[in-house]
Amino acid sequence: MRTLITVVLLILSIVSGNNGGPNSPSKLGHMVVHKDKITLSGFSSGGTFAQMLQFSYSSLFSGIAVFSHTYYRCGTGTGLVDDYDRQCTKLFNASEFEVYNPDLVHEDIKEYVGLKKIENPMNLKDKRLYVYAGLRNALFTPRQSLSILSVYERYIDSPQSIFTRVQDADLVLPTDNTAYGVPCTEFSEKAFFIGQCGFSGVTEALNFLLFNNTSAAHVRGNPNSLMEFDQTEFTRDLPSKHQMDTVGYYYVPKRCRRSSSNYRQCYLHFYFHGCASGRQFANSTHIQHSGLLKLAESRNIIMIFPQAALSLPENDIGCWDTFGISGKYYATQDGPQIQAVKRMIDTILGYPMSPPKGGSSGGNGGSWGNGNGRPNTPTAQSQHFHQQHKYKHRPTTGKQKQKGNRHRGSGQSSGSSKLEFYFGYFVLFTLTPAFFALHCTAHVKLT
Ligand SMILES: *[C@@H]1O[C@H](CO)[C@@H](O)[C@H](O)[C@H]1NC(C)=O
Ligand SMILES: *[C@@H]1O[C@H](CO)[C@@H](O)[C@H](O)[C@H]1NC(C)=O
Ligand SMILES: *[C@@H]1O[C@H](CO)[C@@H](O)[C@H](O)[C@H]1NC(C)=O
Ligand SMILES: *[C@@H]1O[C@H](CO)[C@@H](O)[C@H](O)[C@H]1NC(C)=O
């Protein structure tokens, strides 16, 4: 019976040309790609989501790039945006006891591995990481952004596998654009966070992740059109609070099409947008100006752009769920958004789609915020930040310290007011307009 239905559906889909009409999104299908070179990147909350996906399926991806956000599993994951902002951003000017301690992440990782909700992070040992941090990011202190390194350094073997760029920048996706976007040091959701930073972040990141090439060479490419795909087939039986849009975008370079005369087997890359820059807010504007499409053509990379959706009251600017709206295990294989994107990958690689995971406990998220007697609505301060067109640049609080979260124990030696990092990595500082590189083997100070 099921076979019959499948056959009928198949015939129908062939008859209808597979996508039902000129303006309806197509279905993602099987693509022939380098399976051992699948990479991820994300801007802002998409950068943390990319880490969530990578930790969930750490064997699957060869590298990740995170632009202008913070680290995996920051915050107590209550599903309340205020809690996240208080613990993981500088918006609340929180006390040192409220700011989340990145060391706690490893306890969560151990728990998730024990529960088989994420793969063993030892898979990360030969993977690559690229981190971009802006010194004047309106949301995160440099320390909060660079704590990504302290999470990954336990798992990635070689400092050669990590590339970090710190630039005098706000919350932007750095590009080499001159026409579209705002100066790198400006905050602007109206330009969907596209920064004119004098270099292309996505080019530098993917050159490093895929080709081990640290020269951020300009790429030439002549992109044709971005396509839409139907996301609903990937979310159909997931909890209703999955917060995925109905449509995503994708781009297949000319040479990666099997009909092409100079066909190549291509790379596969997933890019995750940030808050207030997904389809519901920007259509494809952020993507079009990101530099990713040119890069796709010149380096033979198929690009998939899954799209998250807003949900009220906690996520009114369509961020990825980095704070637990969809339940306690939002950052694991049980997370509905993780499941949706994993199914996209399954489909592209030609595997059957994973069945839904997690059951009732991982699922609906609806009860968060009620248990402790607090109303499940954002405070005025958080609303102020989180409503579209109400983003506000706040001055950097240079004195912010970061210590253990009181309620979860654990200590980190107390910080000085200088931000000190002891990372044996290659760290690049770009202070516009001057441009200089530091090869750091001992420690880097930002004062
Ligand atoms: C941040 O906290 C410090 C120390 O508690 C205080 O002096 C300062 O005024 C606060 N700034 C804001 C913007 O609340
Ligand atoms: C990547 O490049 C660095 C520096 O050029 C080199 O030392 C390293 O061996 C390379 N790694 C790989 C896997 O090719
Ligand atoms: C790195 O990129 C530069 C500029 O595109 C190129 O000239 C060089 O050959 C590349 N190196 C490697 C090892 O691919
Ligand atoms: C997105 O597309 C819709 C429909 O074409 C249009 O009305 C809207 O103004 C667009 N928004 C942006 C930010 O481009």
Query: What is the model's pLDDT at position 427?
Result: 58
Q: Whose alpha carbon is nearest atom 11 of ligand 3?
A: 213
Identify whether 254 is part of a domain. Answer: yes
Q: What are the φ/ψ torsions at residue 430 (nearest 5 degrees)?
A: -120, 105
pTM of the model: 0.82
Identify whether 138 is part of a domain. Answer: yes
Number of separate domains in the chain: 1
Q: How far is the CA of 189 from the centre of ligand 2 (A)?
A: 37
Strand partners, 308: 244
Query: What is the model's pLDDT at position 37?
Result: 98
Structure tokens at 334: 């049980």
Structure tokens at 61: 């991806």
Report strand pairing: 33-43 vs 266-272. Answer: parallel
Which ligand has the nearest atom to the CA of 206?
A: 3
Of 322, 253, 258, 308, whose CA–CA distance to 279 is shortest? 308
Sign of the alpha-carbon torsion through 17, 19, 21, 22: negative
Predicted confidence (pLDDT) per residue in 310-359, tens digit: 999 999 999 999 999 999 999 999 999 999 999 999 999 999 998 999 86
User: Is 72 exposed, middle or buried (CB count within 10 Å of its CB: 0-12, 13-18, 19+)?
Assistant: buried
Of 76, 84, 66, 186, whose CA–CA distance to 127 is shortest? 66
**Pocket of ligand 3 from Cβ distances under 6 Å:** 211, 213, 215, 217
Instruction: Determine contact, residues 29/347, Cβ cutoff 8 Å.
Output: yes
Predicted confidence (pLDDT) per residue in 163-200, tens digit: 999 999 999 999 999 999 999 999 999 999 999 999 99
The count of C-alpha atoms lying within 13 angstroms of the C-alpha of 422, restricted to the half-sphere facing its C-beta, is 1
DSSP line for 326-394: T-TTTTSTTSHHHHHHHHHHHHHHTPPPPPP-SHHHHS--TTTTTTTS--SS--HHHHHHHSTT-----
Identify whether 10 is part of a domain. Answer: no
Identify whether 419 is part of a domain. Answer: yes
Cβ atoms within 10 Å of 223's Cβ, excluding its own: 17
Q: How far is the CA of 158 from the centre of ligand 2 (A)?
A: 10
Identify whether 3 is part of a domain. Answer: no
Q: What are the φ/ψ torsions at residue 76 (nearest 5 degrees)?
A: -80, -5
DSSP state of 358: S
Q: How far is the CA of 246 from the centre of ligand 4 (A)?
A: 16
Query: What is the model's pLDDT at position 217?
Result: 66
Of 425, 380, 394, whose CA–CA distance to 162 is shortest? 425
Euclidean distance between CA atoms 187 and 138, whole angstroms: 7
Identify whether 341 is part of a domain. Answer: yes
Which residue type is seen at 208? F
Sign of the alpha-carbon torsion through 222, 228, 233, 234: positive
- Which stretches of the chain score pLDDT less than 50? 1, 4-21, 360-426, 430-447
Structure tokens at 362: 């991982």
Instruction: Determine contact, residues 60/124, Cβ cutoff 8 Å.
Output: no
**Pocket of ligand 2 from Cβ distances under 6 Å:** 160, 212
| Max intra-chain CA distance, the chain | 69
Of 390, 197, 395, 419, whose CA–CA distance to 290 is shortest? 197
Shortest-distance atom of ligand 4 to CA 192: 13
Q: How far is the CA of 217 from the centre of ligand 3 (A)?
A: 8
Q: Whose alpha carbon is nearest atom 2 of ligand 2?
A: 212
Residue labelled with tokens 């931000």: 419
Query: What is the model's pLDDT at position 438?
Result: 32
Identify whether 92 is part of a domain. Answer: yes
Q: Is the CB of 283 under 6 A from ligand 4?
A: yes
Strand ranges (DSSP E) for 168-225? 173-175, 182-183, 194-196
Residue labelled with tokens 């000190």: 420
Q: What is the residue range of 368's domain?
A: 37-446
Query: What is the model's pLDDT at position 429?
Result: 56
